[in-house]
Structure 1
Amino acid sequence: MAKKIQEKEEAAMLPIPTLPAIVEAVGAMVAPTYSTAREEYDVTQHQIFNVAENARPKKKVRKKILGINGEPLLDSNNKEQYTTKYIDVNRIGVNLQSLIVKRRVSFMNVSKIQLEANPVTDAEKKLYDMVKKIREDNKISFIEKEVARRMLSELQVAKLWYSEPVEPGYWGDLAPNGKFRMRCKVVSPDLGYKLLPVYDDYGKMIYFGMIYESTRKFSELIGDPNFNGSSVEKDQRFDILSATHIIKFRKARSGETIISTTQNNGWIVESIVKHSYGKIPITYYYKPAPPWAEVQSAIERIETLISNVGDTNDYHASPVFAMFGKVGAKVLEKGEQGKSLQLTGDNADARYITWDQATAAVEFEFKTLMSIVFTGTQTPQMAMEDLKGLGAASGVAYDRIFQDAHLAARDEIDGEYGMSTQRDINLITACAAAINTTLAPAAKTFKIGFDIPIFRINDDSETVALLQKASGGAKLLSQKTAIEYSPLTKNAEEEMAEIKKDEAEKAAAEAFKTKGLINK
């Protein structure tokens, strides 16, 4: 009872009545100013398909109105009558934006992230193992790739961390009295969340808001006398997180009477929960502009160019058969065999009209634009035709070929993505200390970093030769370490045992052979 009173007193110190309005207004000011990223990323929403805004208007065709006899109809002024018809044009979208993001994420290689730390005391070792367990249980290596993709394409994404009860013995010796574990959920605009971070004057996040819709709980629907069974109503919710509390708001449901004020924008408090993480349980990733922003105009020109070529081909690609003078035969029909024409008169002629105009200018512009897009975004061209002339290049050679892509990926890791990833690790460390409070002192000083190896095209023979060289001679690597890094082994311990077994058998065979020679 005393604990609940304390939580209510602490919550009362927060500006609850005005908090939704403040977070919504201030958080919206931090939102990305590049407002068209999501439409540009989705090829089906490209401007080339936007008929309403005349990005690529329909073709206007004026035709004569013909009568029953095939003659033009005349109006009261004895002038030919015309009708206007609008014919849709080719609209070909190119998914270069999503291709740029896919390759950028692949070269970031975030699924291979590795934690780095040097635990000394037992408390630090336990803390480190708890952090690794939390990440492994939440499949963070897979989530990282989704987060990177959404950050580059949607410009906003966050990892929401929350706790749930756990059965006894879940943590083992790491946290014998641990009663809950941490779970991770990815939230982003495309997933239906409006993300609203609020910072102080020094850039420190003090609140984080999320506006979203959710289906009401089944237990609530059963106990609701106003539910008529025709539909499952969705609630509009607003969660606000701070370093001490999680406050949940919602808009009034149909038939529910509340007092709405201009201060809270109609939001009512649903629950106030105090947490013990010591940090806002959210990791926010943000990017001011997508990686294709500087070449967006070139991509739009490529789509227009390809669509124009499609229109030209529709009208001129098929040959036209023209007859001049007096031709003694009907027009050739499709499928007729042994066709022939009888031409009479000196000026009679028949021929196919073909399109002889060169397309070199179109091809040059297309290739130039594609080069601008890929070079401007540091994206490698990895189609089969692009790689065909490289031959059997080694792994090191490919590293040099893809150096520009590696630099772009490293810029992302060294920038916002890397900073947010470090914040995420620090948050998980704080959560681990909240689960096992005896580790709280260690969590204040113990630091866990991370490293992400560069994306490489593996060359097994080259890797094995390098490991053999490093583990012998100058002994830069131990045999065990070399075996662990070898692409040909899965279990270093088992491989070491097999190697020792082989060496023992070989030594026994040599000894037996030597003994036989001596006896002779």
Structure 2
Amino acid sequence: MPLNLEEILALPDIGQKINYLKKGRKTELPDRCKLWDDWNPERHEIMVDKKKYPDRKVLDKESEKVFDEKTGKTYEIEAKYKTEPVNRISIPLEQDIVNIQTAFTVGTEPSMDCTPTDDDEKKLLDAVKAVFKSNKIKYQNKKIVRAWLSEQEAAEYWYVTDDDSFWAKFWKKVKTTFGGKVKPTKKLKSVLWSPFRGDKLYPFFNDEGKMIAFSREYKKKLMDDSEVICFMTITDKMVYQWDLSKGYEERTPFAHGFPKLPVLYAYRPEPYCKKIKTFRVRLEKLLSNYADCIDYHFFPILELIGEVIWF
């Protein structure tokens, strides 16, 4: 049995290797389907559970007796009923609460408190700010907080891609800070992973509780509309990837180029709005039933004509 991450990655059996990498997670995977049903108003119980909240069965035609002259017998034709949809009012309460909390948390962009001591540090700070602006971190932060509150977990992965256009804008200003000889051809980018985006996240913690690796399982759609399950593991130095179709196939691992694990991970044991779910379910039921009552009794169903005496 492998004892550490290096021994796990050295296993020849890919299936066994992935199984051990998944076991590095210390918490249960979030129930993505259940969380999505609570988050999406169209998936609330009042909208989809026709057994618990059935449509109304109303009389369309009363039963009647028909005399058959040929047989001399009287037959009864059964009453006919039709189904009318009841009111189903859903309330996006979870979305409202999470969006408000997200606005309070990162609605105002976090400020970067830094006082450069010389011109080189100032230019380096400008480069960092340019990276944040290029990756739209202001909006990415909102997505991360929203995912963390509603989906229980989220991860931000930073990677390097070929793109020299990023440096073309301000290379003249910062080239002395970076040596000044060769213009960089790489660009820093980030991506968000979370359950609603189709990701299963597997942080790998050692015995001291430090995250030393991070894995992600997801589905990749091919050109023929078929899907392949992919598993990706990131360590402090390397990125490993495997594809599962008929069997596991390993892609060529590569070094990510960072001095440490380029993944930020956040987890919470329950969704932010778990405690208000019963209130929301009850409120949706009351509003839907009240709407049915109003619709049914809004117009009179019986009209009496005459005089009232002895009143």
Cα deviation for residue 211 of structure 1 reads 1.4
Cα deviation for residue 213 of structure 1 reads 2.2
Aligned match of 2:47: 49
Cα deviation for residue 126 of structure 1 reads 5.2
Residues 179 and 65 from structure 1, CA distance in 2 versus in 1: closer, same or farther, beyond 3 angstroms? Answer: same
Candidates 243, 251, 261, aligned match of 1:250: 243
Give the distance between the partners of 1:141 and 1:237, measured in 2 at CA. Answer: 30
Aligned match of 1:338: none
**TM norm structure 2:** 0.78
The structure carrying a bigger helix percent of its residues is 1
Give the distance between the partners of 1:83 and 1:57, measured in 2 at CA. Answer: 18
Residues 135 and 181 from structure 1, CA distance in 2 versus in 1: closer, same or farther, beyond 3 angstroms? Answer: same
Give the distance between the partners of 2:121 and 2:211, measured in 1 at CA. Answer: 27
Runs of 5+ consecutive residues of structure 1 not aligned to the other structure: 1-10, 71-75, 222-230, 254-265, 325-342, 349-520
The 10-residue stretch of structure 1 (39-48 or 25-34) with the greater mean CA deviation from structure 2:
25-34
Residues 322 and 166 from structure 1, CA distance in 2 versus in 1: closer, same or farther, beyond 3 angstroms? Answer: closer
Equivalent position amino acid for 2:98 in 1:
V
In the alignment, structure 1 residue 19 sits paired with structure 2 residue 10: no
Aligned match of 1:292: 273
Aligned length: 288
In 2, are the aligned partners of 1:27 and 1:198 still within 8 Å (CA)? yes
Residues 34 and 14 from structure 1, CA distance in 2 versus in 1: closer, same or farther, beyond 3 angstroms? Answer: closer
Give 3-state SS (helix, strand or coil) of 1:27's partner.
Answer: coil
Cα deviation for residue 83 of structure 1 reads 6.0
Deviations 1:389-422 (A, max 9, x none): xxxxxxxxxxxxxxxxxxxxxxxxxxxxxxxxxx
Give 3-state SS (helix, strand or coil) of 2:253's partner.
Answer: strand
The structure carrying a bigger strand percent of its residues is 2
Give 3-state SS (helix, strand or coil) of 1:323's partner.
Answer: coil
In 1, are the aligned partners of 2:32 and 2:196 still within 8 Å (CA)? no
Give the distance between the partners of 1:252 and 1:288, measured in 2 at CA. Answer: 33
Deviations 1:69-119 (A, max 9, x none): 69xxxxx99999556665432111011111111211112234511112344
Q: Write out aligned runs for 1:27-426 (5 A).
A: 27=25, 29-32=27-30, 36-52=34-50, 54-60=51-57, 66-67=63-64, 81=78, 86-120=83-117, 124-125=121-122, 127-167=124-164, 170=168, 171=171, 172-173=174-175, 174-175=177-178, 176=180, 177=182, 178-216=184-222, 231-252=224-245, 266-323=247-304
Residues 146 and 347 from structure 1, CA distance in 2 versus in 1: closer, same or farther, beyond 3 angstroms? Answer: closer
Give 3-state SS (helix, strand or coil) of 2:304's partner.
Answer: strand
Cα deviation for residue 241 of structure 1 reads 0.7
Mark the structure with the bigger radius of gyration.
1
Deviations 1:341-400 (A, max 9, x none): xx5xx779xxxxxxxxxxxxxxxxxxxxxxxxxxxxxxxxxxxxxxxxxxxxxxxxxxxx
Give the distance between the partners of 1:188 and 1:51, measured in 2 at CA. Answer: 27
Cα deviation for residue 124 of structure 1 reads 4.9
In 2, are the aligned partners of 1:30 and 1:196 still within 8 Å (CA)? no
Aligned match of 2:70: none
Give the distance between the partners of 1:33 and 1:26, measured in 2 at CA. Answer: 18
Deviations 1:439-496 (A, max 9, x none): xxxxxxxxxxxxxxxxxxxxxxxxxxxxxxxxxxxxxxxxxxxxxxxxxxxxxxxxxx
Q: Percent identity?
A: 24
**TM norm structure 1:** 0.49
Residues 301 and 232 from structure 1, CA distance in 2 versus in 1: closer, same or farther, beyond 3 angstroms? Answer: closer
RMSD: 3.5
Give the distance between the partners of 1:318 and 1:99, measured in 2 at CA. Answer: 35
Cα deviation for residue 133 of structure 1 reads 2.5
Give the distance between the partners of 2:32 and 2:161, measured in 1 at CA. Answer: 37
Give the distance between the partners of 1:13 and 1:213, measured in 2 at CA. Answer: 23
Give the distance between the partners of 1:40 and 1:143, measured in 2 at CA. Answer: 23
Runs of 5+ consecutive residues of structure 2 not aligned to the other structure: 1-5, 68-72
